[in-house]
Amino acid sequence: MDNTNPQGQESSNRICRLFGIRYPIVQGGMVWCSGWRLASAVSNSGGLGLIGAGSLHPENLRHHIRQCKAATDRPFGVNIPLLYPQMQEIIDIIFEEAVKIVFTSAGSPKTWTPLLQSNGVKVAHVVSSSLFARKCEDAGVDAIVAEGFEAGGHNGREETTTLCLVPQVREATSLPLLAAGGIGSGAAMLAALDLGAEGVQIGTRFALAAESSASEAFKQRCLGMAEGDTKLLLKKIGPTRLATNGFSRKVQEAEDRGASAEELREIVGKGRAKKGIFEGEIENGMLEIGQVASQARRIEPVSEIMAGILDEYNRLASRKQPVFA
Amino acid sequence: MDNTNPQGQESSNRICRLFGIRYPIVQGGMVWCSGWRLASAVSNSGGLGLIGAGSLHPENLRHHIRQCKAATDRPFGVNIPLLYPQMQEIIDIIFEEAVKIVFTSAGSPKTWTPLLQSNGVKVAHVVSSSLFARKCEDAGVDAIVAEGFEAGGHNGREETTTLCLVPQVREATSLPLLAAGGIGSGAAMLAALDLGAEGVQIGTRFALAAESSASEAFKQRCLGMAEGDTKLLLKKIGPTRLATNGFSRKVQEAEDRGASAEELREIVGKGRAKKGIFEGEIENGMLEIGQVASQARRIEPVSEIMAGILDEYNRLASRKQPVFA
């Protein structure tokens, strides 16, 4: 585990210290993208990789954790949407496999945080408002991810953008803070730190990495996107950012004519995200991806994505912006 | 006109040079907020004030321009939504009153830019996509404002946030670039510059300034807002960000049941923004304001808002972010 800077001193960055990582870059846990290959690649590059439990059956999660341990000796974690139906089983596996970092989302941080922490697990929780950030602090979580409107997949109801959200969460809590949503470059990472974050969580860029388990067809579709080619849809059942395709147009058309939550649930049906992301059904599947996809150019290995972001960040952080006197 | 830095040298910032201003901070032109009092106060504080023509009858615009000239010897401009019904009259007044800076929005920059420029007017155009930024460059405008989803009032259809939009517009054009939407602090200004902007356009903070012509009731309502208290509504007739109130709930309810554009136009009716912003009908008026309103604390004079933003910006720009080696 390398959580020291080149001089061998402990990092002054709280995110790096908390998770024992070299760079304050966390790979977001994403359904059908972030198995052990992606997570271990990010951890091996000095960031924090997360296995996304949301699209894994419990025993499959155990398999991914074991593969990840074999593939890296650096820290990695598991992302658990707290609405997962078999939570107790998942938690048992986290303990049995001695996972030391868990990111939770989509539920109350109070329910599982104490149990996880009493078993030596560091807990970060994803929020979309400073109201929930304060609830996280009350629940005793170790870190917070503030995720804005531009993020892919499941999203907050308030529609607050990362630019507006991060300063408000920073003011609401003193916890170590990661910014998420719309971050896929060193410039955006620097902007996030200027706004008060201490690190970033990056989803979309890593969803399109070579090591992502998303299908080639999904990656190519997302890489060909223009600005405005994602939309926050399904607000009546749970806001979700999707790339435009036949399925999203069907949802949009239904929403435009006032379709009920029940009807929308029927249109979505079962396994729609798996179809779109994992199986590459580009027209009829659900394509969860963030706005920042239109900035991505090609499928790259994680090591190159990390190096590119860090090089740009370091270059911009070293170049002083003008002072206006 | 003071467009030099304290050493008397010309500014190295292209926005400052272009408009002859000291700080690259432009006050957004806003209906019912930005008359001559607000515009001249911003210009007198070293930024660029804009009289918002959108809510002024032509002869009233002439009155505001003359009052503004009397109140400041610094550069100021006029913001013109190009869908304005009496465009030719407005343009005639711009020339007759020798206004030297015009910001245009909501229409094609090709129609009026050449005529304005041939009469010595500098033209900036507001866009919400890099596609339109390229059209601006083709039209020969002098500067671009890239305005993101979090901005108040009329808004783009693509819903691209400032964090995602600014780097894409920066890449699409070499023109002087202002970032807008979600910017109300020095930290956000620094973030915008890190993303590639050379200055910022600020609406919401100035809409709530002492010199804004918005009603006291409107300002107090906006200052009491929490995160999530604005929403992008009216997407079928022209996306507009509004503060939550009785009127916005009526619109939301209509949209949820699939109301047509025609029905929405009927619900909005005539003079709804004037009612909400200028006359202070807080429940039944239309309250155009940006997400960043929830960061504002109190009604302040423009000079204090400007000083606060610049102090924070300069402090943060002088403090180096860590480099991650």
Q: What is the per-residue pLDDT across A99-147, written as a single tens digit (0 to 9) for each?
A: 999 999 988 999 999 999 999 999 999 999 999 999 999 999 999 999 9
Give the length of chain A: 325
Strand (E) or helix (H) holding B154: strand B153-154
pLDDT tier at B8, thresholds 50, 70, 90: low
User: What is the per-residue pLDDT for B300?
Assistant: 98
> Which residues of A fall within a CB distance of 8 Å from B236?
256
| B199 contacts chain A (CB < 8 A) | no
Q: What is the pLDDT of residues B113-125, one digit of tens each?
A: 999 999 999 999 9
Mean pLDDT rounded to a whole number for chain A: 95
The residue-averaged pLDDT of B10-32 equals: 95
User: What is the per-residue pLDDT for A1?
Assistant: 43
pLDDT tier at B50, thresholds 50, 70, 90: very high
Q: What is the pLDDT of residues A172-196, one digit of tens each?
A: 999 999 999 999 999 999 999 999 9
Cross-chain CB nearest to A294 (options B168, B196, B292)? B168
Question: Which stretches does DSSP call E strand in chain A?
Answer: 25-27, 49-52, 76-81, 101-105, 122-127, 143-147, 153-154, 177-180, 199-202, 230-233, 240-243
pLDDT tier at B85, thresholds 50, 70, 90: confident
| B163 contacts chain A (CB < 8 A) | yes
Chain centroid to CA A214: how far?
15
- The partner residues of A81 in beta bridges, in order of sequence, read A105
Q: What is the pLDDT of residues A257-273, one digit of tens each?
A: 999 999 999 999 999 99
Name the residue among A19, A1, A44 with its Cα closest to residue A176.
A19
How far apart are alpha carbons A280 and A221 in whole angstroms? Answer: 9
Gap from A66 CA to chain B (nearest CA, Å): 30
How far apart are alpha carbons B89 and B25 in whole angstroms? Answer: 29
Percent of chain A with pLDDT over 70: 97
> Which residues of A fall within a CB distance of 8 Å from B165?
227
| A279 contacts chain B (CB < 8 A) | no
How far apart are alpha carbons B95 and B198 in whole angstroms? Answer: 28
Q: What is the pLDDT of residues A205-239, one digit of tens each?
A: 999 999 999 999 999 999 999 999 999 999 999 99
CA angle (B278, B280, B286) in 5-degree steps: 75
pLDDT at residue B3 tops 80: no
The type of residue at B62 is: R
pLDDT tier at B106, thresholds 50, 70, 90: confident
Q: What is the pLDDT of residues B246-280, one digit of tens each?
A: 999 999 999 999 999 999 999 999 999 999 999 99
Look up tokens 């955006």; give the residue.
A188
User: What is the per-residue pLDDT for A5?
Assistant: 52
How far apart are alpha carbons A70 and B104 in whole angstroms? Answer: 59
How far apart are alpha carbons A75 and A275 in whole angstroms? Answer: 31
Neighbours of A7 (CB within 10 A): 6
CA B219 → CA A165, A208, B32, B233, B278, distances in Å?
21, 44, 12, 20, 10
Look at B227 and A295 and tell me if their CB atoms are within 8 Å. Answer: no
Q: Are B282 and B144 in contact (CB under 8 A)?
A: no
Look at B324 and A316 and tell me if their CB atoms are within 8 Å. Answer: no
Strand (E) or helix (H) holding A272: helix A272-273
How far apart are alpha carbons A136 and A110 in whole angstroms? Answer: 8
Most confident by average pLDDT, A73-77, B10-14, B223-227: A73-77
Contacts of A9 (CB under 8 A, 6+ apart): none
Q: What is the pLDDT of residues B134-153, one digit of tens each?
A: 999 999 999 999 999 999 99
Give the CA radius of gyration of chain A: 19
A39, exposed or middle or buried, with CB in 10 Å at 0-12, 13-18, 19+? Answer: buried
pLDDT at residue B169 tops 80: yes
**Interface residue of B10, B256, B310, B324 to substitute, partner A, most A CBs within 10 Å:** B324
The type of residue at B135 is: K
Coil, helix or strand at residue A179? strand
Phi, psi of B319 (to 5 degrees): -90, 120
How far apart are alpha carbons A297 and B101 in whole angstroms? Answer: 38
Q: Complex ipTM, two decimals?
A: 0.96
pLDDT at residue B2 tops 80: no
CA A68 → CA A127, A153, B236, B323, distances in Å?
26, 24, 48, 29
Gap from A229 CA to chain B (nearest CA, Å): 8
pLDDT at residue A4 tops 60: no
How far apart are alpha carbons A120 and B68 in whole angstroms? Answer: 65
Neighbours of B310 (CB within 10 A): 21
Mean pLDDT rounded to a whole number for chain B: 95
pLDDT tier at A280, thresholds 50, 70, 90: very high
Neighbours of B196 (CB within 10 A): 18
Q: What is the pLDDT of residues A43-63, one digit of tens each?
A: 999 999 999 999 999 999 999
CA angle (B301, B302, B303) in 5-degree steps: 90
The type of residue at A298 is: R
Look at B190 and A194 and tell me if their CB atoms are within 8 Å. Answer: yes
pLDDT tier at A2, thresholds 50, 70, 90: very low
Coil, helix or strand at residue B235? coil
pLDDT at residue B13 tops 90: yes
Give the length of chain B: 325
Cross-chain CB nearest to B158 (options A23, A227, A317)? A227
DSSP structure class, residue A292 = G
Name the residue among B306, B284, B120 with its Cα closest to residue B218.
B284
| B305 contacts chain A (CB < 8 A) | no
For A196, which residue in chain B has the nearest alpha carbon? B187
How far apart are alpha carbons B182 and B150 in whole angstroms? Answer: 5
**Token pair of A319, please?**
């170049």
Largest pairwise CA distance in chain A: 61
Q: Are B34 and B61 in contact (CB under 8 A)?
A: no
> Which residues of A fall within a CB distance of 8 Å from B12?
322
Greater confidence (A4 vs B162) lies with B162
- Provide the whole-model pTM: 0.96
DSSP B282-310: TTTS--B--GGGGG--S---HHHHHHHHH
How far apart are alpha carbons B195 and B193 in whole angstroms? Answer: 5
Coil, helix or strand at residue B80? strand
Question: Which stretches does DSSP call E strand in A203-259?
Answer: 230-233, 240-243
| B312 contacts chain A (CB < 8 A) | no
Residue ranges of A 51-70 with Cβ closer than 8 A to chain B: none
